[in-house]
A and B are shown apart, each in its own frame.
Chain A
Amino acid sequence: METVEQFIFYVSQNSGYIWEQFYRHFLMAAYGVLFSAIFSIPLGILIAKYGKLSSWVLAIGSIIQTVPALGAMAVIMIAMGLGTNTVIVTLMLYSILPITQNTYVGMKEVDKNIVEAGFASGMTRFQLLRMVELPLAISVIMAGLRTALVIGIGIVAIGAFVGAGGLGAIILTGTNATNGTAIILAGAIPTALMAIIVDVFMGWIEKKLQPAKVDKPKAA
């Protein structure tokens, strides 16, 4: 009961601060995934075309995934310094696997007959990619971005250790206070909410993009 009161007290006193950190937290996660997507999606397409590369690239992605985020951040910090850039770069690395893997799977799942039909109607390779393969794979690729972003929100919480702020900073303040449970909750609940909202929203986009599977080939 006391914790609930303290929680309400803390949140009402610091609502501006919490909101600011919430926004900052979200932006860091979003940047990390976006920058990662810029090279991970092309990478996924590449390994789908040249199958020999795929096992290597995915293995490297998996290895990166096994490194604890705190350790990775500490190493990257030496090169990148304190602050948000370190967190964003760390997040980029952790997003490689989910995005690349999903792009790879999405591209592989495209019906070969459709691609051949496109090829037969005189489409160039780039046209095939842009008008046939990508639209068919996009919902699977989105699923990868969704996974990466949800994982990312968790990783950004650790970023407070390297001076990047975010909701992790509030959680750390709470661990340091005597009766800090309320403060920890004030940091942890928004973090969890953010992950849930992002998951639902990205899931919605994913669904929206899915029917393309039926429509698109006819149009093409």
Chain B
Amino acid sequence: MKDRIYKGTLMTILLIMLAGCSLPGLASTSSDTIKIGSAVTSETEILAEMLAIMIERETDAQTDIVSHLGSSIVQHQGMLRGDLDITSTRYTGTDLSGALGMDPITDPEEALEIVEREFQDQFNQTWGPTYGFDNTYTVAVTQEFADEHGIDTVSDLEPYSDDLTFGVDNSWINRKGDGYDGFQKMYFAFGKVYPMDIGLVYEAAATGSMDVVLAYSSDGRIKEFDLKVLEDDRNFFPPYDASPVVTNEILEEYPEIQDIMDRLHNQISTEQMQELNYNADVKLMNPRSVAQEFLEEHNYFEDAEMGDE
């Protein structure tokens, strides 16, 4: 009797497991599915959704989004192994030092040229045209503070710097090249520097806990908390222009993808990206709906082909 109970339970468990095998979620996807990778930030997820919507609209391929990948290196590994066909958002600065292991370059065009060439040569991947926004580190203050002291550029802060507190990303402070050491050499030192999680700096500036913060330029919270982004007048921060990266194999199979990337080229400004991020991060909208809404609003960029050569 007991024997039967335990055999029965075991059989049921096994059956559930076997039934699970054929589930779309866990089973390996079919070969005509294009796998698009995205990272943890809302930005990359929104853009992955945009690409997915456009690809499904233009081709007969299915898409599958692999989201929340830990870092650009994880994305890069995934591309090299063929687990991903496209990564939605890669930044020139990140991959210059990450995937390519080179020194930071401050000229945006030179940086773009290098990643385009090196990805083609080394990895047989195409670095797509930029979306038009970047996600660099930027120095930000409250609008109020900027108005009061007439500050537009980072250099304008110099006379006050000794009395100012500076809230920065944990990982930035010890970074070589474009970290705080380099910043002090190029600009000046602040009175006190507080490393913290990047998600906290915006609120810290808005509530007055910090006078100056180092923010991500495309973050929606810049808009939410009414922060002013200061111009990097000595060109210290390397560019982090965003582009999709596609393997050449999938481009050959679906040439339409090149066309889709061209149509999205220079269509999303940093301000627009801030707004899209705001919808996802602050209004808690689903990335898919954010992407859908944006594309519908712009008629899927169908007219863009004419404008951009």
CA distance A101 to B17 in the complex (A): 24
**Is the C-beta of A1 less than 8 angstroms from some C-beta in chain B?**
no
The closest CB in chain B to the CB of A70 belongs to B70
Contact code string A6-32 (vs B, CB < 8 Å = 1, else 0): 100110011001001001100110110
CA distance A178 to B198 in the complex (A): 11
**Contact between A82 and B202, CB atoms less than 8 A apart:** no
Best-buried of B74, B203, B220 by chain A (most CB within 10 Å):
B74
Q: How far is the CB of A158 from chain B (nearest CB, A)?
A: 10
**Contact between A77 and B74, CB atoms less than 8 A apart:** yes
Selected contact of B67 from candidates A9, A34, A163, A212, CB within 8 Å: A163
**Contact between A163 and B286, CB atoms less than 8 A apart:** no
**Is the C-beta of B102 less than 8 angstroms from some C-beta in chain A?**
no
**Contact between A161 and B2, CB atoms less than 8 A apart:** no
**Contact between A24 and B26, CB atoms less than 8 A apart:** yes
The closest CB in chain B to the CB of A14 belongs to B286
**Is the C-beta of A205 less than 8 angstroms from some C-beta in chain B?**
yes
Q: Which residues of chain B are within 8 angstroms of A30 by Cβ–Cβ distance?
A: 13, 16-17, 20
Q: Which residues of chain B are within 8 angstroms of A162 by Cβ–Cβ distance?
A: 69-70, 74
CA distance A176 to B66 in the complex (A): 17
Q: Which residues of chain B are within 8 angstroms of A215 by Cβ–Cβ distance?
A: 1-2
* Interface positions of A from 1 to 59, Cβ below 8 Å from B: 6, 9-10, 13-14, 17, 20, 23-24, 27-28, 30-31, 34
**Is the C-beta of B120 less than 8 angstroms from some C-beta in chain A?**
no
**Is the C-beta of B227 less than 8 angstroms from some C-beta in chain A?**
no
**Contact between A81 and B2, CB atoms less than 8 A apart:** no
**Is the C-beta of A179 less than 8 angstroms from some C-beta in chain B?**
yes
CA distance A180 to B40 in the complex (A): 14
Q: How far is the CB of B42 from chain A (nearest CB, A)?
A: 6
**Contact between B66 and A24, CB atoms less than 8 A apart:** no
**Contact between A211 and B20, CB atoms less than 8 A apart:** no
**Contact between B37 and A163, CB atoms less than 8 A apart:** yes
Q: Which residues of chain B are within 8 angstroms of A179 by Cβ–Cβ distance?
A: 282, 284
* Interface positions of B from 166 to 201, Cβ below 8 Å from A: 199
Given contacts A14-B286, A83-B83, A162-B74, contact A173 B2 (CB under 8 A): no
**Contact between B66 and A163, CB atoms less than 8 A apart:** yes
**Contact between A160 and B286, CB atoms less than 8 A apart:** no
Q: Which residues of chain B are within 8 angstroms of A155 by Cβ–Cβ distance?
A: none
* Interface positions of A from 136 to 182, Cβ below 8 Å from B: 138, 160-163, 165, 168-169, 172-173, 175-180, 182
CA distance A86 to B4 in the complex (A): 35
Q: Which residues of chain A are within 8 angstroms of B9 by Cβ–Cβ distance?
A: 205
CA distance A98 to B229 in the complex (A): 53
**Contact between B284 and A182, CB atoms less than 8 A apart:** yes
**Contact between B17 and A34, CB atoms less than 8 A apart:** yes
**Is the C-beta of B25 less than 8 angstroms from some C-beta in chain A?**
yes
**Contact between A177 and B68, CB atoms less than 8 A apart:** no
* Interface positions of A from 172 to 194, Cβ below 8 Å from B: 172-173, 175-180, 182-183
Q: How far is the CB of A202 from chain B (nearest CB, A)?
A: 10
**Contact between A183 and B284, CB atoms less than 8 A apart:** yes
Q: How far is the CB of B250 from chain A (nearest CB, A)?
A: 16
Selected contact of B282 from candidates A165, A169, A177, CB within 8 Å: A177
Q: How far is the CB of B218 from chain A (nearest CB, A)?
A: 13
Selected contact of A177 from candidates B5, B77, B281, CB within 8 Å: B281
Given contacts A31-B20, A81-B83, A176-B40, contact A163 B68 (CB under 8 A): yes
* Interface positions of B from 10 to 64, Cβ below 8 Å from A: 13-14, 16-17, 20, 23, 25-26, 37, 40-42
Chain A interface residues (CB < 8 Å from chain B): 6, 9-10, 13-14, 17, 20, 23-24, 27-28, 30-31, 34, 74, 77-78, 81-84, 135, 138, 160-163, 165, 168-169, 172-173, 175-180, 182-183, 205, 208-209, 211-212, 215-216
